[in-house]
Structure formats: C-alpha cells, structure tokens
Chain A
Amino acid sequence: SQQGEEDPQALSIQEGENATMNCSYKTSINNLQWYRQNSGRGLVHLILIRSNEREKHSGRLRVTLDTSKKSSSLLITASRAADTASYFCATKPSLNDYKLSFGAGTTVTVRA
C-alpha cells in the first residue's frame, strides 16, 4: 500500500523565503526520508529521521517527525533558485524491510 502523502502538491515562493511541506503516512515506520528530484532526473537523498527522533537538521533543512500523528514536515530555510525541484517523503516500514514507500511529492518553485 502507498504511504506518504505530501501537501501542498505545489509551492511557489520568492528566493530567500522559507518553504515548508508536509508528509503524512499510514502505518508504523522505522524511519522517514526526504528526497529531492530535479526535473527529469534521479532522486537525491536529503535527510533521514528515525522513528525515535523528533527533529533533525542538515544545513538549511529541518525535518520534524510526529509519530503520534504519523506526519513529518520538511522546512527549507532561505530558499534559493537551485532549490526548485520536487520533494518526496519516503517511509521505511521496519528494521529488516528495506523497500521505501514514496509519497506523491511537493513541487517547489523558487522565484528569483
């Protein structure tokens, strides 16, 4: 079954602004990961948060996880034109199950 539903589906912001996108999932997870995909290209891993973690930072990225609500958010601070891409959350269901279930993604456009 599919997990990971992002909202909004699309986001347009001005360079320098923050971008926030959310992801909800349905079943328990071992970890949740965020990936970026530039148009027509492959997926690039951004950040991973374990089920026992609540917040994680990596550079301009901040991820939160609320397992009670089965939701996560990705914040990109001080956005740049190069951040224009689609962002996907992906859930890893358990320790020994390695397949990822992806959401539909949020398309972010950063205007110069």
Chain B
Amino acid sequence: EPEVTQTPSHQVTQMGQEVILRCVPISNHLYFYWYRQILGQKVEFLVSFYNNEISEKSEIFDDQFSVERPDGSNFTLKIRSTKLEDSAMYFCASNVGLGGTGEQYFGPGTRLTVT
C-alpha cells in the first residue's frame, strides 16, 4: 500500500539554525500539507500546497517557514532560523484533492528538537 514517507525521523538543531524537513507524498496525490504537534498538544495545521503554490496557511506559518516541491516527488518544509518553540513533531500529509473525500494520509513524522 502506498504511504507518505518523511526524513529524517529525528532532527536535533541549535537555535538559529536552518532546518529542512523532507516528505515524499503518495505519488498520485495532488494536495500536500504540513502539520505540527507540540508535545502533549493538538495537531495544528501549518500549510497546504497545490499546483506548486501555497493554497492556505495558518498564523503559525510566518516568514520563517517556507515550503517547496523541488522535483516531482519531494515536498519540503524549511524553517529558516529555528526557535526553541519550534520543537515539535512535524507531519506531512497528502490527499487526492478534487473529487476526493478529504481523507488525508499522514507520514510518520519528524521529531524536531531545537536546543
């Protein structure tokens, strides 16, 4: 069964450093998402991406965040200058989009620890 994959599984970085989290969505899916979950808290929507551009973003997704689909398979989230409060589990998700029900397929997550 196709699945969303994410790398790395765990990333430790120092405050102020840039990180890139990588995702490979399911191949025939058209919509891609990033969510984050701070330890013990809700899963929060960050951004959705369709047709090579951001379709929606939350208040959390400020100028230090960016997303890119650099090739036909990868979908990346970049955090330019990490802060301690960026420590969280970051989930990538994808779905078929138009004509689909909205069921999203989530990757296993990247645990980001900012020290």
Contacts and interface: CB of A to CB of B under 8 A. Distances in A.
Interface stretch (B14-22, B37-45, B63-71, B73-81): B37-45
Given A98-B31, A101-B45, A48 B106 contact: no
Contacts of B44: 102
Interface string B6-46: 00000000000000000000000001010100000111110
B41 A43 contact: no
Given A33-B102, A48-B101, A42 B42 contact: no
B41 to A, nearest CB: 7
B104 A45 contact: yes
Contacts of A97: 56
B103 A99 contact: no
A88 interface: yes
A41 B110 CA distance: 10
Interface in A21-73: 30-31, 33, 35, 40-45, 48, 50
A35 B37 CA distance: 14
Give the interface size class of chain A: 20 to 34
B42 A105 contact: yes
Contact of A48 (B55, B89, B91, B103): B103
Given A42-B91, A43-B91, A97-B56, A102 B43 contact: yes
A45 B108 contact: no
B56 to A, nearest CB: 6
A44 B106 contact: yes
B101 A100 contact: no
Contacts of A45: 103-106
A2 interface: yes
Interface string B83-109: 000000101010101000111111111
A42 B107 contact: yes
Contacts of A31: 101-102
Interface of A: 2, 30-31, 33, 35, 40-45, 48, 50, 88, 90, 92, 97-105
